[in-house]
Structure 1
């Protein structure tokens, strides 16, 4: 697909027709014609895509279509929103009053659609002027040109390999294992991480050459040609003459497969499949051409896509090739930039280290930049010139670092291209919350076509996983149940996203104080706030998203002119210390779906926020309950609301929230506000966080919550200095709750939810050992304790915690000893100690827990680390010391 944005907009226009059919009744035929026009334009885009990278005129032509597609969506959605406002939930008299306005708007949208259709016809007529008519004929695609750069051969091996010593040993050992069955060993990593380099080193290893009497290497690539690949392998296995060459050229696919199978049938073979992109490429070979006949043969596969590797052999985890650390990066840089020189001249070291940092551990980038520097004079000015033009040198280099990374982008489906480009809005080195990202993507409507509204978050998370699986995005932090909690984008891939987005006029990033908002901007990320007091009011761009990052300035002088931003879907002002209340005009931004005002020092939300009927996420958290955000009683009007983060919110009257049938997350709500609402009406509520104090009757609260059909997670938070509840009884009534977090509550409840599987205790500061109570929770699989216990000893009795798989003890600053009786923790897989500064040693019984796979020691004292029992830790497959 030529343009991810246009493709998605066309799909969303169709969805709008279905969703808003009642409100679009009078102009339905015109909207359908408009959509058909856009669909026709999409076919021309397939041709235009082949040349828009190299031709600015064609890029501009595609940009005009994109702008028209966006305008189409805006026109339809704004109109439907107005008609919905005039008619929905209104009485007959009110509907009759608004009827003339409805007729006026019908006429207006009809005229706008006709104008837009004329615009599309003019754009279509101009394509011949740009030479777009027959681009598909006899033309080498941009992707094929990129593929030429990637073709690999095992003959030329890089001698300056750094950081691959241990993984090379592991791979060689895996290939040489005594196993008569054919096995697949996979190496995965992002483009330029060194997968091919590592595969060459293993392929040419002396022990590997001795073991396998038949070896072949083939580069597969994303433009997969099955017959061509079969011929390549056969040619490597046989002595070639003209007769055989001619015969291979004339063979059909089945004959080639049969010939290759015969060539390999009685051999102990090793075949390297380098750069495999598609699962189908593997299936074609594995099913018909690679015999598995007890000869201990192996296939070594490299891919950017983890799913491909796991598809090839589901029983083995692929070897993940991470980027180099700072030490190895510097060593490789010195080898490539200075040749045989032992060290870096002092006057070049600072700029050299900054160049290395910009490569962000990517071996290919270090190699290319190092090669450029090797040919330059050893002058600081020369090195600074390359640093200042870093991206330009990488994209122009003959090895084509940018082009190689671009292959990964080109292989993405349209919706993932959109998601990847969106990540470019975040600042360099950002650790991005996946939960926040999902809320944004859903608000953008990216998931609209594929799932019903209750599954859009699931679809968005799946896309995060797909981008990580394709090594376009790096996992920053995982949850215990192995879900991605946060992620980051490699600097060079972020630059690729920014370059692609700028080419397509997708977004703007303002990172200097002189930037001005373009009249064509749809997405704007502000990293540095300009000095212009009228920055947000100087133009009326058709912005859909306005995101602020790391803008901590007090911006009393900045004018948020919401009249200019009526097409906004996303407004993220987190940490922008506004110092004044939000203007009432916010209520006119009727398409707004995501509003983040976290830590903005706003004192009050205007009642007009209640007009935001499309709002899905509202985040008004403050850092303290003593500086609350005041709201009037309008939250119940936000009928589309899915996620309300309200810690620090205060309503002048009892807050009404009942009837919000789409609400999934309600966090930071006060006890009294919960008790004043009929919670059974919140039919989608899954996560609930409640602020309790000395007057909170937990037993009545639990009775009140017991009939919420979807409630799975409960968080009880007691602010410091507010006084503790008298008792925590009643939790056993919550049969559906599986995850419970108790924050700053200085007692354990006498009973727990009967189906509890995850428990987190934070700042509970218990004086009695909690383990005798907790170890009896029959379904508990996850226990996290942070500053939860003040005592010197914890005892886990025989057969205690018989389902527990993860245990974290964090900042138990009085804890000296843990006793684990024989037979305890029979299912434990991961044990984490964090900042337990007085703990003297690990429990002896750990060596007998056969299920223990991972032991993590985070910020533990050096004396504790030095005293570790070598025999004990050797029994744990994964020891991680941070």
Structure 2
């Protein structure tokens, strides 16, 4: 697809037609015709895909289609929103009053749709005028040309390798270890990370050459050709003769597979499959061409996609190639940028600019190699190096290896909706650590996620797409939860540059990052990284914004001067960290299409009553340090899915019942909950409640026991409740968090199906382990600043017999005793900031299931006292 935005918008328009069909009576036929026009245009886009990168005329033509597609969606949604407002939940008299306005709106949208269809016809007619026809005849794409340049060979091995010592040893060991069956060893990493370089080093290793006397290397690439791949391998296994070449050219696919199978049969072979993109490419080779006998043969596979590696051999853990650290990056740069000597030293006057160049490469070996090679051909003058630094992106794009283009291959391989998701990440500032939860809410608000079934909501699909981008090495994991879910992520600087460049090419978004930037009148997505003091920084233009995001703007006492009537197409507004010196005006109610509003840490103290008009709002984040005063309008927000708050204050009990889409409701006061029929919140999964000394927990639990969808309950204790009894009534709850200095004792009972428990900042005086270790279903336990006692913590024999994940943070104990037979299923232990702890429990070395041990911010003395035998017995041991 030439333009992922158009593809996604056309799909959204189709869904919108289904969702709003009730409100589109009278113009339904016109809307359907418009939709058909857009689908036809998408067919033309499939052809335009081949030449968009090289031909500006085609880019402009695609841009016109994109603008029309967006306008179509806006027209339909704004109209449906108006009609919904005129008719929904209104009495007969009110409906009759609004009837003339409805007729006027019908007439207006009819004219707008016809005007848009004429516009699409003109765009279609201009194809031939732009030369957009027969695009696939006799042409090759830039990507295919690049693939040819990048085709790898094991012969030209790079001697200037740094940072690969340990992983090389590990790979060689993996290839040589016993086992008669054919196995696959994989290297995965982002484009330019050095996968091919590493594979060459392993392939040419003396021990590997000795072990495998039958070896071959083939570059598979994204434009996989099965016949050509088979021929390439066969040529390396046989003496090269004219007869062989002629025969291979005449052979059909099945004959080639049989010939390769015969050549490899009964041999101990090693075949490197470099740059495998698709699972299908592996399947073609593995099932028919590579014998799986008892010769201890091996395949070494490199890929950007983790799924390909896992698919090839689910029993072999892929070796992930990370970017280089600061010092390794510097050493590689010196080897590439300076005249080759045994120990190259950077001239003092060049070191500062040199290190900044290396920083811009962000640990990517390919970028360091390209820039270093470029500098090698220049004089060692500070002015020359500074020139390269100031034109960094240009040099990477124009280099013979085309670093940017190589990274763009990963982008080109994404399906349309993932391209959209990836481009959206480009809005975030450089080096941002991005909350996955926030990202998911934004993507869902954008309408690019489709509900898969009743159980798997759009949020599930969005999280899956974050994982897919990470598995494709387009996005890096920044932080994982202890049970290995992605908590936050980041985008490599050079891949972010790709996203920005692609987004600019497609007029997808604009980043306002200098005070002199002019905001384009065509911008649909705008990220403001620098905010001018000029109150009219939008100028005279009123761009058709859909998303408006503010970053790195702390204090801003002036009104940001959004003209609410001019920006009615906004779906997302994120003002997080903008410490505004005022509250939002009543005009916010004009944003009728708004789905996501982020007001976290904005110092806003009151929400206006006009919020009740935001019927499409899905996510409202008002987690401020101070209380936020809210009038009784929340029940009107019928599309609301997630309400995040720290403390909400209202003069009357807030009405929340009837919100059937609500999934998350955080930090609502006990009294508000008790005044509502919670069984009407049929989608509610996560609930956070403030409780105090007068709160009757038993009554609360009775009240919540019929909320069948509720899975997660957080109790925030301002002071010790009179009783915490009653939790055993919550059969549906599987996750419980107890938070607050007011909690001094554990509850006498717990939900019977509890699998996850978190204790945070509680004042427990007695060792909680004797109680917690008896919770039969518990698999996840997290304790942070939860225990004030000075005595040891003891986990007794057979305690926690189902616990898999344990995190202990900021506990003041000096010893944790684990008796024999305890924690028998523990997989991951994370200990953070436990400054008094003297040593790890001895029994850990006997827990055979323990796969991961993480020590975070622990004292140096503690690290020095570690038992080498103990930590060596854990497959994954990390110190942060």
Q: If the TM-score is normalised by the length of the shorter chain, which range does it land in?
A: over 0.9
2:646 is paired with a residue whose SS is coil
Inter-partner Cα distance in structure 2 for 1:746 and 1:507: 51
Q: Is the 8 A contact 1:11 1:449 kept in 2?
A: no
- Tell me which residue corresponds to 1:645: 644
Deviation at 1:652, TM superposition (A): 1.9
1:266 is paired with a residue whose SS is coil
2:23 is paired with a residue whose SS is coil
| 1:491-510 → structure 2 map (5 Å cutoff) | 491-510=493-512
- Tell me which residue corresponds to 1:405: 407
Deviation at 1:49, TM superposition (A): 2.3
Inter-partner Cα distance in structure 2 for 1:284 and 1:52: 31
Q: Is the 8 A contact 1:12 1:449 kept in 2?
A: no
Inter-partner Cα distance in structure 2 for 1:12 and 1:806: 40
**Does 2:64 align with 1:68?**
no
- Tell me which residue corresponds to 1:730: 726
**Does 2:663 align with 1:667?**
no
Residues 450 and 800 (structure 1), Cα distance of their counterparts in 2 relative to 1, 3 Å cut: closer
Inter-partner Cα distance in structure 2 for 1:219 and 1:876: 36
Inter-partner Cα distance in structure 1 for 2:455 and 2:728: 32
Q: Which moved more, 1:186-195 or 1:45-54?
A: 45-54
Deviation at 1:454, TM superposition (A): 5.6
Q: Is the 8 A contact 1:780 1:804 kept in 2?
A: yes
Deviation at 1:342, TM superposition (A): 2.5
- Tell me which residue corresponds to 1:368: 370
Q: Which moved more, 1:45-54 or 1:216-225?
A: 45-54
Deviation sequence 1:65-103 (CA, Å, 0-9, x none):
100000000001111111111111222222222111111
Inter-partner Cα distance in structure 1 for 2:537 and 2:595: 23
- Tell me which residue corresponds to 1:549: 551
- Tell me which residue corresponds to 1:741: 737
| 1:666-745 → structure 2 map (5 Å cutoff) | 666-719=665-718, 723-744=719-740, 745=743
Q: 1:426 aligns with which of 406, 412, 428?
A: 428
Task: Let me know the Cα RMSD of the aligned residues.
Answer: 1.3
Deviation at 1:621, TM superposition (A): 1.1
- Tell me which residue corresponds to 1:872: 870
Q: 2:844 aligns with which of 843, 846, 860?
A: 846
Deviation at 1:472, TM superposition (A): 0.3
- Tell me which residue corresponds to 1:859: 857
Deviation at 1:782, TM superposition (A): 1.1
- Tell me which residue corresponds to 1:764: 762
Inter-partner Cα distance in structure 2 for 1:272 and 1:871: 36
Deviation at 1:48, TM superposition (A): 2.0
Q: Is the 8 A contact 1:613 1:639 kept in 2?
A: yes
Deviation at 1:765, TM superposition (A): 2.4
- Tell me which residue corresponds to 2:565: 563
Count of residue correspondences: 875
- Tell me which residue corresponds to 1:826: 824
Q: Is the 8 A contact 1:536 1:561 kept in 2?
A: no
1:837 is paired with a residue whose SS is coil
2:723 is paired with a residue whose SS is coil
Inter-partner Cα distance in structure 2 for 1:87 and 1:453: 31
Inter-partner Cα distance in structure 2 for 1:242 and 1:406: 39
- Tell me which residue corresponds to 1:527: 529
| 1:95-110 → structure 2 map (5 Å cutoff) | 95-110=95-110
Deviation sequence 1:447-481 (CA, Å, 0-9, x none):
13756696111111111111111100011111122
Deviation at 1:133, TM superposition (A): 1.5
- Tell me which residue corresponds to 1:752: 750
Q: Is the 8 A contact 2:810 2:834 kept in 1?
A: yes
1:23 is paired with a residue whose SS is helix
- Tell me which residue corresponds to 1:30: 30
Inter-partner Cα distance in structure 1 for 2:321 and 2:866: 29
Q: Is the 8 A contact 1:689 1:717 kept in 2?
A: yes
Deviation at 1:755, TM superposition (A): 0.9
Deviation at 1:877, TM superposition (A): 2.0
| 1:585-600 → structure 2 map (5 Å cutoff) | 585-600=587-602
Deviation at 1:580, TM superposition (A): 0.9
Deviation sequence 1:138-197 (CA, Å, 0-9, x none):
111232122123210010000000111111111111111121111111111000000000
Inter-partner Cα distance in structure 2 for 1:874 and 1:303: 29
- Tell me which residue corresponds to 1:241: 241
Q: Is the 8 A contact 2:188 2:309 kept in 1?
A: yes
Q: Which moved more, 1:556-565 or 1:212-221?
A: 556-565
- Tell me which residue corresponds to 1:336: 336
Residues 424 and 229 (structure 1), Cα distance of their counterparts in 2 relative to 1, 3 Å cut: same
2:186 is paired with a residue whose SS is strand
2:272 is paired with a residue whose SS is strand
Deviation at 1:553, TM superposition (A): 2.0
Deviation sequence 1:822-864 (CA, Å, 0-9, x none):
1111111122221111111222222222222222111111111
Deviation at 1:536, TM superposition (A): 4.7
Inter-partner Cα distance in structure 1 for 2:258 and 2:455: 50
Inter-partner Cα distance in structure 2 for 1:613 and 1:205: 65
- Tell me which residue corresponds to 2:447: 445
Inter-partner Cα distance in structure 1 for 2:868 and 2:800: 26
1:22 is paired with a residue whose SS is helix
Q: Is the 8 A contact 1:729 1:751 kept in 2?
A: yes
Q: Which moved more, 1:418-427 or 1:476-485?
A: 476-485
Deviation sequence 1:637-670 (CA, Å, 0-9, x none):
0001000012222112110000001000000111
Q: Is the 8 A contact 1:214 1:269 kept in 2?
A: yes
- Tell me which residue corresponds to 2:437: 435
Inter-partner Cα distance in structure 2 for 1:314 and 1:453: 28
1:77 is paired with a residue whose SS is helix
Deviation sequence 1:689-745 (CA, Å, 0-9, x none):
1111222121111111111111111111124xxx33222111111111111111112
Deviation at 1:318, TM superposition (A): 0.7
Inter-partner Cα distance in structure 2 for 1:506 and 1:872: 53
- Tell me which residue corresponds to 1:230: 230
Q: Is the 8 A contact 2:482 2:830 kept in 1?
A: no
Deviation sequence 1:560-596 (CA, Å, 0-9, x none):
2211110001010111111111121111111111011
Deviation sequence 1:98-142 (CA, Å, 0-9, x none):
111111111111100010111111111112121112222111123
Q: Is the 8 A contact 2:745 2:765 kept in 1?
A: no
Deviation at 1:537, TM superposition (A): 6.9
2:684 is paired with a residue whose SS is coil
Inter-partner Cα distance in structure 2 for 1:496 and 1:732: 53
1:294 is paired with a residue whose SS is coil
Q: What are structure 2's unaligned runs of at least 5 residues?
A: none
2:757 is paired with a residue whose SS is strand
TM-score, normalisation: structure 2: 0.98
Inter-partner Cα distance in structure 2 for 1:846 and 1:602: 49
Inter-partner Cα distance in structure 2 for 1:60 and 1:449: 33
